[in-house]
Amino acid sequence: MAKVWLMFSWPEVPLTTEGYRQAQYAANIVQSHNIAFDCAYTSGLKRAQDTLTVILRALACQGIPTKQAAELNTRSFGDLGKWTKDRACAQFGEDQVKLWYGIEYENVADVAPPGGETLRYCENRARSYYMNEIKNKVLAGKNILVAISRNPI
């Protein structure tokens, strides 16, 4: 079966086989350092939640408090919803799609796709959540696991 890259898909996209492998690898690294988590955070996205589940199961710590927060979601591509990369490139041009997607995170234009968010907005949203919800726990010495997509980080 051919792999279709749903560049603009968002909440319901499951973790890929490679994503499961990466989550297990991350769990192995954490386990090798004997880190015990006090609580965990994830976004409202299925693939981030799946990542958290894989890690918590591997560490045998499914009982820790976990919280899902939409503020930690990757950015929204708005009206482009579930468009494929090919469809978006055909409609808007490859250069524009690259600007919106910001694959390399360098020189990314602060322009949102139609109805969507900029990387800056996404970053500010996640930073605000971190400052209000997570930071004080870290400063209090708690070990916090955060499983989210790369955009908000």
For the stretch 75-126, pLDDT in tens is: 888 888 778 888 889 999 988 888 777 666 666 668 888 898 888 899 999 9
Tell me 79's DSSP state.
Answer: G
Domain assignment present for 152 = yes
End-to-end CA distance of the chain: 32
38 in the same domain as 62: yes
Total structural domains within the chain? 2
Distances from the Cα of 149 to the Cα of 26, 32, 66, 76, 124, angstroms: 14, 23, 17, 12, 15
98 known member of a binding site = no
Residue with tokens 């560049």: 7
67 known member of a binding site = no
Q: Which domain holds residue 46?
A: 16-75+117-153
Full-model pTM: 0.85
